[in-house]
Amino acid sequence: MSEEVIRPPESAPTGQSPIADFTYRTYDGPLYTRRIRWWIVALAGIRLSMKKKGFWVLAGLAVLPYVITVVQLYLQSRASTLTGGQTPNPLNMPLPGQQYSSQFFQAFVFQAFFLFILTLLAGTGTIASDNQANALQVYLSKPITKGDYLAGKMMGVAIVIFAVAFVPALSLYAYCLLSFVNEGFFKNEPWLIVRIIAACSVPALVFSALIVGFSAWSKTPRMAGAIFAGFYFMSGIVAGIYWGVRYRGNLGQGNLERHFSVDGVIQGLVQNAYGVTQRMMTGNPRTGALEQVSMPPPNAWVMLALGLGLVALGLMAARARIRAVEVVRG
Amino acid sequence: MPVATISNLTVKYGRKTAVEDLTVDVPDGCIGLLGPNGAGKTTLIKTLLGFLKPARGGGELLGLNVASEGLRIRQRIGLMPEIDCHIPGMNAVTFVAYAGELSGMPRSQAMRRAHETLEYCGLGEARYRNVETYSTGMKQKVKLAQAMVHGPKLLFLDEPTNGLDPAGRDEMLELIRDISHAKGVNVIVSSHLLPDIERTCDHVIVMRHGRIATEGEVAALRKTKGVQMDVELRFPQEIEAFVKSMVLRQAELVSTSGTRCRVSLMENGADPGSVLFDAARESGAQIRGFQSAQRSLEDVFLEAVE
B68, B85, B176, B187: which to substitute to probe chain A, counting the most A Cβ within 10 Å?
Answer: B85
B38: left (phi over 0), alpha (psi -120 to 50) or beta: left
pLDDT band at B184 (very low <50, low <70, confident <90, very high): confident
List A residues 274-313 in contact with B (Cβ-Cβ < 8 A).
none
A179/A191 Cα distance (integer angstroms): 18
pLDDT at A3 over 70: no
pLDDT at A75: 83
CB contact under 8 A, A27 and B150: yes
Name the nearest CA neighbour of B117 among A20, A25, A32.
A25
A142, A323, A325: which to substitute to probe chain B, counting the most B Cβ within 10 Å?
Answer: A142
Mean pLDDT of A30-37: 79
For B37-71, the DSSP string reads TTSSHHHHHHHHTTSS--SEEEEEETTEETTT-HH
| CA dihedral over A53, A57, A59, A60, signed as positive or negative | positive
Query: Which residue has better confidence, B145 or B82?
Result: B145
A262-277: per-residue pLDDT in tens? 999 999 999 999 998 8
Strands B154-158 and B77-80 turn out to be parallel
CB contact under 8 A, B98 and A4: no
A93-128: per-residue pLDDT in tens? 555 556 788 889 999 999 999 999 999 999 999 999
A279-288, B98-107, B220-229, B274-283: the lowest-pLDDT one: A279-288
B87, B174, B178, B183: which to substitute to probe chain A, counting the most A Cβ within 10 Å?
Answer: B87
> Under a CB-based contact definition with an 8 Å cutoff, are residues A319 and A150 in contact?
yes
CB contact under 8 A, B116 and A22: yes
List B residues 224-243 in contact with A (Cβ-Cβ < 8 A).
none
Q: CA B67 from chain center: how many Å?
A: 26
- Residues in A closer than 8 angstroms to B120, CB to CB, are 22-24
pLDDT at A312 over 70: yes
Q: What is the ipTM of this complex?
A: 0.81
B115/B109 Cα distance (integer angstroms): 10
B47, B101, B140, B146: which to substitute to probe chain A, counting the most A Cβ within 10 Å?
Answer: B101
- Residues in A closer than 8 angstroms to B89, CB to CB, are 48, 51, 125, 129
pLDDT at A310 over 60: yes
pLDDT at B265: 87
Report the residue of chain B nearest A21, measured CA to CA. Answer: B116
Q: CA B248 from chain center: how many Å?
A: 41
Report the residue of chain B nearest A146, measured CA to CA. Answer: B51
**Closest chain A C-alpha to B112 CA, distance in angstroms:** 8
CB contact under 8 A, A135 and B45: no
CB contact under 8 A, A134 and B81: yes
- Residues in A closer than 8 angstroms to B147, CB to CB, are 141
Which of B46, B74, B192 lies at the smallest CB-CB distance from A142? B74
CA atoms within 13 A on the CB side of B256: 13
Strands B186-190 and B30-34 turn out to be parallel
Query: Which residue has better confidence, A224 or A91?
Result: A224
CB contact under 8 A, A143 and B103: yes
pLDDT at A2: 47
Report the residue of chain A nearest B208, measured CA to CA. Answer: A330
Helix, strand, coil shares of chain B, percent, nearest 5, are: 40, 30, 35
pLDDT at A13: 47
pLDDT at A89 over 50: no
